[in-house]
Structure 1
Amino acid sequence: MLTISRELVDQIVAHARADHPDEACGVVAGRDGVPERFVRMENAERSPTFYRFDSMEHFRVWRDMDDRDEEPVVIYHSHTATEAYPSRTDVSYASEPFAHYVLYSTEFDQFRSFRIVDGVIEEEEVKILESNG
């Protein structure tokens, strides 16, 4: 199960809507499996049907997480015309076995999370923590 704050969900959704009609992508860094820090990344493909992290930005972001003793807890991207379910390409890119792969569909307003390990997709429950303020 992915447990994530409403603030982080809202940031992912806002990024997806801002980059629409292109797919948006990024990561939520954290420690011990707890998502804490939103990191918006650029879709190097600038495409409505495909995303790819820019290789230099990817390197910088992962190095920054290492420096902060963080890990990629959530790796997210949006789908702009289809449901929030991993495509074959998404599965081929899934290289972090402990990450939650979040997809947000701007077409269907769906926020879903998956574990993808060795090409196997397993959807998981999402628990959104509302802020107390």
Structure 2
Amino acid sequence: MLVIRVDLVEEIVAHARRDHPREACGQLFGAADGGRAMRYVPMTNADEADEQYDNFRFDPDEQLRVHLDAQSRGEEVVAVVHSHTGMPRRLPEGRRQSEAYPSAKDVRFMGLQPDVHFVIVALDGPDAETELRSFLLGGHGEVVEDEVTIGPGGTYGG
């Protein structure tokens, strides 16, 4: 189970709305002994494709700075976060375009950090309702949805 404070969920959704139609991306950090998300760090989508908005990529220099800062705070990555925006996607057959479900590229990326949650926020427009879901890779490389609990501070309503 992934536990995220409501204010962090609100930050994630606000970031996704600001960056729409590009995919927003960032990371959730928490105490190295926990697994509870305590801080959201929005990051720059370094994907250079001007005509396609259906990808994200962390800038390596920014990612290094963010990770060194987290390490100095005694934190570790709890989740990689990004949005799906309803733009053309490479999703499994039968899934709607903006669904909060990992694409084939997302699954390959998840394989780099199989114990890190992969949070996806889907929204079809900057003012649209959102869907937030979390995934992990199972023992055989399969995508497994993990429960998301919104922690103290209220409940998130999309």
Q: Give the structure-2-normalised TM-score.
A: 0.78
Alpha-carbon distance, 1:97 to partner = 2.4
Aligned amino acid, residue 66 of structure 2: V
Gaps of 5+ in 1: none
The answer to whether 1:102 aligns with 2:119 is yes
Match of 2:28 in 1: 28
The structure 1 residue matched to 2:73, chosen from 68, 84, 96, is 68
Alpha-carbon distance, 1:119 to partner = 3.4
Task: Looking at secondary structure, tell me which structure has more strand per residue.
Answer: 1
Match of 2:142 in 1: 120
The answer to whether 1:52 aligns with 2:74 is no
Moved more, 40-49 or 14-23: 40-49
Q: Percent identity?
A: 44
The structure 1 residue matched to 2:101, chosen from 78, 82, 85, is 85
C-alpha separation in 2, matches of 1:72 and 1:112: 17
Aligned amino acid, residue 8 of structure 2: L
Q: 1:92–1:119: 8 Å Cα contact kept in structure 2?
A: no
Q: Give the structure-1-normalised TM-score.
A: 0.92
C-alpha separation in 1, matches of 2:71 and 2:142: 27
Alpha-carbon distance, 1:65 to partner = 1.3
Moved more, 116-125 or 36-45: 116-125
The structure 2 residue matched to 1:41, chosen from 40, 43, 48, is 43
Aligned-pair RMSD on alpha carbons?
1.6
Alpha-carbon distance, 1:130 to partner = 4.1
Q: What per-residue deviation string (whole Å, max 9, x for no partner) do you get for residues 75-122 of structure 1?
A: 100000020000111111122222111000012621001112563210
Number of corresponding residues: 132
